[in-house]
C-alpha cells in the first residue's frame, strides 16, 4: 500500500499513481501464465505480455491524469468526461490485471463480444475483489465508488452516441471521484 501524503494542488492521486507506476516497473510475476475464464472458456496469457499490458495501461492513466490536471479549466465538458472515462478504464483494468495475476484461482468473466474487453474484466474483477476483501455492503466503495464507475461507463456510451452532454456538476463530481477511486485502490480498502 502507498501512504497518502499532503499535496497542495492538482489531484491527490497524482503522486500516488506516479509511485505506483514506478513500483510496477520493478514487479516480476511468479507465474509463467495468467489464466482467465471468459464465457466458460479458459484463456491463457503469458505473464510477460500481461505485465506489459499492466504497465502500458498505468502509464496511459498517469499521462492522461497529468493532461486532465493541466486542461480541466479550459477543455470542454465532453472532452473532460471522455478523459475521466479513459483514465478510469486504463487504471482499473491495469490494477485488476495485477490483482488477478496475484490470485491463486482464475477469475471468471462474462462478456457479450467474442473477445474480452477491459470493462468485462473490470466488472468481474470488482465483484471478485469485493468477495476477496470481504467488503461491507455499507462500505464507501460499494455505496459511492461502484455507482460512480458504472455511471461513468454509461454516460460515456451516451456521449459517444451524441445522446448526452455532461453538466458542470457532472464534471465536478467526475473529477472528485476519479481522484477518490485511484486513492482508494492505491492506499488500500477501508472495509
> Helix %, strand %, coil % for the chain, to 5?
60, 10, 30
Asked whether residue 100 is assigned to any structural domain, the reply reads yes
In terms of residue numbers, what domain contains 94? 13-187
Asked whether residue 31 is assigned to any structural domain, the reply reads yes
Span 160-177, pLDDT tens digits: 999 999 999 999 999 999
Give the pTM: 0.90
Span 104-156, pLDDT tens digits: 899 999 998 889 999 999 999 999 999 999 998 899 999 999 999 999 999 99
Give the Cα separation of 87 and 92 in Å (integer): 8
State the total domains in the chain.
Answer: 1
Asked whether residue 165 is assigned to any structural domain, the reply reads yes
Asked whether residue 4 is assigned to any structural domain, the reply reads no
Asked whether residue 101 is assigned to any structural domain, the reply reads yes
Asked whether residue 6 is assigned to any structural domain, the reply reads no
Which pLDDT belongs to residue 6?
Answer: 39
Amino acid at each position: 500500500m502507498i501512504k497518502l501524503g499532503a499535496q497542495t494542488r492538482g489531484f491527490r492521486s497524482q503522486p500516488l499513481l506516479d509511485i505506483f507506476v514506478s513500483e510496477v516497473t520493478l514487479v516480476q510475476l511468479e507465474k509463467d501464465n495468467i489464466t482467465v475464464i471468459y464465457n466458460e472458456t479458459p484463456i491463457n496469457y503469458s505473464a510477460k505480455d500481461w505485465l506489459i499490458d499492466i504497465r502500458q495501461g498505468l502509464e496511459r492513466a498517469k499521462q492522461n491524469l497529468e493532461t486532465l490536471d493541466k486542461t480541466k479549466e479550459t477543455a470542454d465538458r465532453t472532452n473532460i468526461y471522455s478523459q475521466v472515462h479513459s483514465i478510469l478504464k486504463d487504471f482499473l483494468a491495469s490494477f485488476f490485471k495485477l490483482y488477478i495475476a496475484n490470485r491463486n484461482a482464475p477469475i471468471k468473466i462474462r462478456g457479450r463480444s467474442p473477445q474480452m474487453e477491459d470493462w468485462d474484466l473490470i466488472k468481474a474483477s470488482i465483484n471478485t475483489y469485493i468477495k476477496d476483501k470481504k467488503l461491507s455492503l455499507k462500505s464507501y466503495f460499494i455505496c459511492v465508488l461502484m455507482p460512480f464507475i458504472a455511471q461513468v461507463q454509461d454516460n460515456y456510451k451516451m456521449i459517444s452516441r451524441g445522446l448526452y452532454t455532461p453538466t458542470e456538476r457532472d464534471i465536478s463530481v467526475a473529477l472528485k471521484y476519479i481522484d477518490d477511486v485511484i486513492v482508494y485502490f492505491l492506499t488500500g480498502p477501508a472495509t
